Structure formats: structure tokens, C-alpha cells
Amino acid sequence: MKRLTKHKLLFFISFISILVLFGGVGYFIFSISKLSNIENNLRLFGSIVLAIFSLILFILNLRFLGKYKKVKLFIVIILMLLIGGVCIFAGYNVDRVYGTLAKVSDTSGYTTYSSSLVTLKDNKAKTIKDIDDSEIGILKDKTSYEGYKIPLEVLKKQKLENKTKEYDSYIALIDALYNEEISYIFLPTNYSVMFGNMEGYEDIKDKTKVLLTESKKVKEEKDDENSANAKAITEPFTVLLMGVDSDAEGIKNGSFNGDSLMVITFNPKTLSTTILSIPRDSYVPIACFPGERKNKITHAAWKGETCMMNTIENFLDINIDYYVKINFAGVVQLVDALGGVEIDVPYNLCEQNSKRQWGENTIYIEKGLQTLNGEQALAFARNRHPNPSMCSSKWTNYTSNDFIRGEHQQEVVTALLNKFKDVDSLDTVYKLLDTISNNMVTNMSTEQILSLYNVFKDVASKSVGMDDMTDVLGIQRLKLNGYDARIYDYGGTNLSLYNYVLYDDSVKAVSNAMKENLGKKKTKVIKSFSFDVNTPYEKEVIGADETGAKSLVQLPSFVGKTVDYVRSYCSSHGISVSVKGGNGYVLSQSVPSGANVEDVSSITVTAGGNTTSTPSTSSSSSSSSKDEEDDVLEDNGIVPTEPEEGDKEDTVVTPPEQPEETEPEEPQTTE
């Protein structure tokens, strides 16, 4: 020992180099040990070799230090410092990647609900402490965290003695606030995005302000059969991409609103992929609504991602293994970190920026193949209206809708995949990790995400020399076909809303394509193929052209029709009828026309006198009632006929020919 410590400076340097070597090697081996399912044999072999080599350097260090062979000692020390330093650097980067994946992964089973106390913008109150003793509006649904449970907890926590007033829906709450029937209401924190696209509520963000926001994590019940750990990642799987649209960056700052839904099936054995964008207005049974009442699918998000996943599973008849929730605002950073994405823009367009601002912040994109920056890519993915009130004709001369927006989102996703495979800068990797960790969350475990390495490795090896990842992944686009309908949301928002009613045959075709890719159904083999050299080949979009019978039956207007007709119609649709007044022509009905007959169990109609009635010789009140009835009938095209001179005893009212039930016209404005 005395020989080793004889030259104190060299001994100190040797001691430091030994610490760096073993500290770095140990840190690196520990870091890569967390990368389960990634090159297991290589990691084990590399760790053993590195440990043996480090031990050899350690022995040589002691030997050369004891014999005071400075040149050889310096070489060993340099090697020890170099290897230790490289291991520390490599271990740090491995830890950073693992930490990002761990942050993105959320297998806790908790869902975060957030509720806000809202009032009109001109209310003098600035915080919850400033409110008066007015009633506070909450949702009647006692199972709702954002509308009922959290509000009650807030009132208790803030020691407020305000009485609460319950409403049937969020729309009823907002209407009561707008009409100044109540001064304060509780809404989901993301209410400006949830309701800002609905007719009549576009300016809700400008009309209201938030006095307080409260969040709560809730443990959701897991379905063992469909839990994230139920299927190995090496097998075919389904993932649901859900867009979080908020004004702020960060996945925690915005609740899921259901505007962007994309279902992807992937078969790692064949590297085949199907991709489906679900229109936000699709009219489907909502899993968490009473009786799975049908509604537009975006409203399933009001009950959280579990409700959305169950809803999609039910109507597509597939299991969703994983979900990935992405904040739209983070797309800006992601695209910019990759240096932009190449998109062939089909027309000039304008759109609000990532913070939903117009004016000088408006995003303009010209037609043509180009590289879009983050703001432009987000605007392209969001756009579904020409916005003529915001931009000149140069930027609004096109037709768009939810389907076109879905196609644009798929193009952005594909363009991002093409950019990911070319990342070769550590600085870019760091930017991507930061962006992903702040703007994405999934129910995949960290180990499951890591197991995708082998898939990515296979894809990367087969994509060498290819510019388009779609050629490697064999992406098959799917599309749900349907028709437009304006449906009265009876028992829900009680508004007449635009919906997109899906054809059963289209849903079935899309579902079968997914099942085939997942190996759940035998693939049909195409034995013949015809083509025309003069016609460019276009890949089939499964489900796009499927139609079939229209299953939606809407309640007609009974005004002006006979009570007998109402009874006959309702009897054939399982609806009980109550009649007020006479037994003649209907003057009003309790359930508005346009409601889905599936949602109507009973109806009350108010009718006038008999279709053939004897004029009364009595009071003016009867005359007034008769005049009122005639006014209603005339407004509906029903004209009482004057009796012939000799037939004064009876007054006959001739009803118009009963119109056939027709499909609703395509609405001029949509939610």
C-alpha cells in the first residue's frame, strides 16, 4: 500500500479515474437493464464484456502505479476516464429516454376530471370569494364528476352556503346563465372548446369567465379482458388516438373533448396497418349514456376517455388495446422540432392559430406541395370550414368537412412518420423527448412501449431507400359513410343538432377490415384484378361507398294531423299517447319533431275539437277557442271548408293530404 501511495498526485488521479470508470460503467449497466425486451442478449453480453474490461483496467492501474510506470499508467488512466465518461453520457441519455416514456405512460387507471365555476364576463366577481348568496347551477346527473360531484366538494371546501339549482344538461346550465336566470354555474374546465363549436354558443369563451377551477383524480374500474396488459405488444393490436384541443400547451392543461378520433390497427407480423378517422358528429350509441342512448360521438368525451373507448368498441365491434391522448397544441412543437412536414395542400386556406386567435394571428396556407411549420401543420389538421367571415375569398374558395379534416390529419401523421425515420441529431432527439413528455399520454406500460423497439427496427430495415413510410406499413385507409340529419336531442341537450348517421353496411365493412388485419377474421383473397393503363390507380378506401338502408326513424310533426293518425303512428313505434283537449286535429305535441323515435317512450298531444263538429250556440270563450284552433290549422295548411247552404248543422274541416315522411335536408350550418 505504501508503494501505491508513494506518489500522492498519481495516486489521487488513479483513484479518481477508478471512481469514474466503475461509477460510469455501473450507471450505464443499471440504465440499460431497464430496457426490457430490447436486444436482451446484446445488453447482457455487452454488460459482461464492459465489466471484465473495467476490471482489467483496474488491475493494470494498480500494477503500473505500484511499479511507477508513468507512461503506461497515463494510458490506462486516460482509457478509464474515457470509458467512464462515455458510459455516464450514454447512461444519461438512456435514462432520459426511459424517463420520458415513463412520464408518457399512465397505467394507474386514474382519470382526471376538472370543473370550473363560471359566470358572465361582466359579473363584478373576480374569484369565488367575491360571489354573492345567489343560487349556483349544477348538473342533475349525480354520477357526473365535473357537473355534480366536484361542484359539491368545492362548495363544502370553500364553506359556501349557497343553495344549488339542478339542471338536466350543460346546455340548460349555459342557457340559464345567458338568460340571467342564475349567476353562477359549474361546467367542465374545457367548456369553451366542448361547446364553442355548437350553434349559438360560438362566443361562449368571450361571454364568460372562470372564477375557480378544481380537479380530481378518480380511479376507474378496469375491464380485465380489455386492460392494457391483456395483450402482448408482439401481437396485432388496436390503438385509439384522441385529440386534446386546448388553448394551452401541455397534456395536463386540457381535457379530452372528442374532436379528433383516429383508430389504428397494426399487425407487427405483416407490418400492415389500417387507419380510420371517426367524424365527430357520427351518430352512435354512447356507452355511458342511460340505455346507451344514441348521440354524436364527440359527446362521449364528456364522460372521459373510458366512455369514448367503450363507445367505439361497441359500435365497431372490436377491442381497443391502447389509447394515446395527444394535445393539439403540442403538434406545433413536434413539427418544428422535426424541421417541418411535407404536405401537398389541395387549396388555399386560412385558420386560427394554436391559441385559437384570428386577426393578425391568422394562419394562411397556399395551395401546393410544401413544407409546413408547426402552426401551419396544426391549422391544416384542424381546418374543416372555409371561414368566409374571417378571410378574403382567396382563402375561402373551397369545400371542407369532417371527412376532409380527418384525411388531413392522417396526412400529417404520415408526414411525421416520414420525418421520424430521418432523425439523426441528438439535439433533435432532446426536443422531441421534451415535446412528447409534455403533450402525450398513453395507457401502455413503459415496458410495452419499449417492446415496440423490435417493430420499429423491422420497419426501419425495410424502409431503407424508401421515401414514404406508407409503402412499408401498407396503410389501408378506411372511411365511414353515412348521411346528414338534424336530430332533436330529446332527453339530452334538447337542441336540434346536426348529426352524421352511419350506414350499417359501411360500419360493418370497416369493422371487418380491422378484424382481418388483427387476425380475427379470415382475409378475403382477391383472385382477379383489372386495370386501365390510361386511368391512374387509386387504392380502395374501404367503407367509403357502402350505403344500404337508413335506420334512423325521426318523430314527425303531428300538428295538423288527426289524433287517430297520431295513435296509429305511435302504436306502430311503441310510443304511448296522451291526448289533451278534443279529439280532432293536433295543435301541439310535447316531444318536438325530429327526435329519434328510439328515445321517445310517451308523448302528449293537445288537440282541438272533432274533425266533424257541431257549432256551439254558447259563449264567446268557445268562439275564441275555435278561432285559435283555426289559426293553428291555417298556419299548418289546413283550411276549414264552408258547408253548403242546406248543411249548416255540421262544420267539416278538410285535412290536407298526409305528407310522406322524408329524409331531412342537409343543414346549412353544422355544429
- Residues 378-404 have pLDDT tens digits of 999 988 889 898 999 999 999 888 888
**Cell 327526435 maps to which residue?**
595
The residue type of 561 is: K
What pLDDT score was predicted for residue 666?
40
Residues 95, 33: Cα–Cα separation, whole Å: 11
Comparing 224 with 434, the larger pLDDT belongs to: 434
The angle at the Cα of 584, spanning 580 to 589, to the nearest 5 degrees, equals 45
Percentage with pLDDT > 90 across the chain: 44
What pLDDT score was predicted for residue 657?
41
- 606 confidence band (pLDDT: 50, 70, 90): very high
What pLDDT score was predicted for residue 432?
85
Contact between residue 589 and residue 604 where contact means Cβ atoms under 8 Å apart = yes
The residue among 551, 524, 564, 553 whose CA lies nearest residue 540 is 524
Contact between residue 151 and residue 164 where contact means Cβ atoms under 8 Å apart = yes
Q: What residue spans of 421-503 are helical by DSSP H? A: 426-439, 446-451, 453-462, 469-473
The residue among 242, 228, 239 whose CA lies nearest residue 264 is 239
- 166 confidence band (pLDDT: 50, 70, 90): very high
Residues 132, 184: Cα–Cα separation, whole Å: 10
**Cell 406500460 maps to which residue?**
445
Residue 244 has pLDDT above 80, yes or no: no
Percentage with pLDDT > 70 across the chain: 82
Contact between residue 350 and residue 366 where contact means Cβ atoms under 8 Å apart = no
> Would you mind telling me the total number of residues written for the chain in this entry?
671
Comparing 69 with 220, the larger pLDDT belongs to: 69
What pLDDT score was predicted for residue 528?
58
Q: How far is CA 433 from CA 253, 419, 428, 429, 449, in A?
A: 18, 15, 9, 6, 14
Comparing 231 with 334, the larger pLDDT belongs to: 334
- In this prediction, residues 101-130 reach a mean pLDDT of 88
Contact between residue 329 and residue 439 where contact means Cβ atoms under 8 Å apart = yes
What pTM, to 2 d.p., does this model score? 0.78
Q: How far is CA 64 from CA 4, 11, 69, 582, in A?
A: 9, 11, 5, 114
- In this prediction, residues 71-97 reach a mean pLDDT of 93
What pLDDT score was predicted for residue 616?
41
DSSP bridge partners of 296: 283
Q: How far is CA 252 from CA 31, 196, 215, 334, 528, in A?
A: 28, 20, 11, 17, 52
Residue 230 has pLDDT above 60, yes or no: no
Comparing 212 with 230, the larger pLDDT belongs to: 212
Comparing 284 with 224, the larger pLDDT belongs to: 284
Tell me the CB-side half-sphere exposure of residue 640, using CA atoms within 13 A. 22
DSSP bridge partners of 370: 343
- In this prediction, residues 202-216 reach a mean pLDDT of 91
- 354 confidence band (pLDDT: 50, 70, 90): confident
Alpha carbon of residue 667 to chain centroid: 24
Residues 181, 572: Cα–Cα separation, whole Å: 41
Comparing 290 with 373, the larger pLDDT belongs to: 373
Supply the DSSP string of 72-96, one letter for each residue: HHHHHHHHHHHHHHHHHHHHHHHHH
- In this prediction, residues 326-333 reach a mean pLDDT of 82
β-strands 475-478, 341-345 pairing: unpaired
Alpha carbon of residue 419 to chain centroid: 24
Residues 601, 603: Cα–Cα separation, whole Å: 7
- 428 confidence band (pLDDT: 50, 70, 90): confident
Residues 208, 126: Cα–Cα separation, whole Å: 12
What pLDDT score was predicted for residue 629?
53
The residue type of 388 is: P
- In this prediction, residues 475-503 reach a mean pLDDT of 90
What pLDDT score was predicted for residue 225?
47
- In this prediction, residues 6-13 reach a mean pLDDT of 77
What pLDDT score was predicted for residue 546?
87
- In this prediction, residues 468-496 reach a mean pLDDT of 84
- Taken in order 458, 463, 468, 474, the sign of the CA dihedral is negative
What pLDDT score was predicted for residue 249?
57
Contact between residue 304 and residue 111 where contact means Cβ atoms under 8 Å apart = yes
Range with lowest mean pLDDT among 319-323, 468-472, 480-484, 580-584: 468-472
Range with lowest mean pLDDT among 348-352, 362-366, 451-455: 451-455
Residues 119, 131: Cα–Cα separation, whole Å: 10
Residue 670 has pLDDT above 80, yes or no: no
What pLDDT score was predicted for residue 659?
39
The residue among 546, 514, 538 whose CA lies nearest residue 274 is 514
DSSP bridge partners of 368: 345
- In this prediction, residues 475-487 reach a mean pLDDT of 91
- In this prediction, residues 9-28 reach a mean pLDDT of 91
Contact between residue 579 and residue 563 where contact means Cβ atoms under 8 Å apart = yes
What pLDDT score was predicted for residue 655?
39
Class of residue 351 by CB neighbours under 10 A (exposed 0-12, middle 13-18, buried 19+):
buried
- In this prediction, residues 12-27 reach a mean pLDDT of 92
Treating both helix axes as pointing N-terminal to C-terminal, what angle do 402-420 and 328-337 enclose, rounded to 10 degrees? 40
The residue among 160, 19, 159, 164 whose CA lies nearest residue 83 is 19
Residue 471 has pLDDT above 90, yes or no: no
What pLDDT score was predicted for residue 150?
95
Q: What are phi and psi of 235, to 5 degrees?
A: -95, 160
Cell of 476: 389501408
- In this prediction, residues 431-452 reach a mean pLDDT of 86
Range with lowest mean pLDDT among 135-139, 364-368, 536-540: 536-540
Mean pLDDT across the chain, nearest whole number? 82
Residue 209 has pLDDT above 80, yes or no: yes
What pLDDT score was predicted for residue 314?
95
- In this prediction, residues 82-94 reach a mean pLDDT of 94
Residue 207 has pLDDT above 60, yes or no: yes
- 302 confidence band (pLDDT: 50, 70, 90): confident
What pLDDT score was predicted for residue 445?
87
The terminus-to-terminus CA distance of the chain in angstroms comes to 83
The residue among 402, 399, 241 whose CA lies nearest residue 327 is 241
Residue 110 has pLDDT above 50, yes or no: yes
Comparing 438 with 94, the larger pLDDT belongs to: 94
What pLDDT score was predicted for residue 513?
94
Contact between residue 241 and residue 229 where contact means Cβ atoms under 8 Å apart = no
The residue among 357, 345, 337, 417 whose CA lies nearest residue 381 is 345
**Cell 419499449 maps to which residue?**
450
- In this prediction, residues 76-100 reach a mean pLDDT of 93
β-strands 440-442, 322-327 pairing: antiparallel
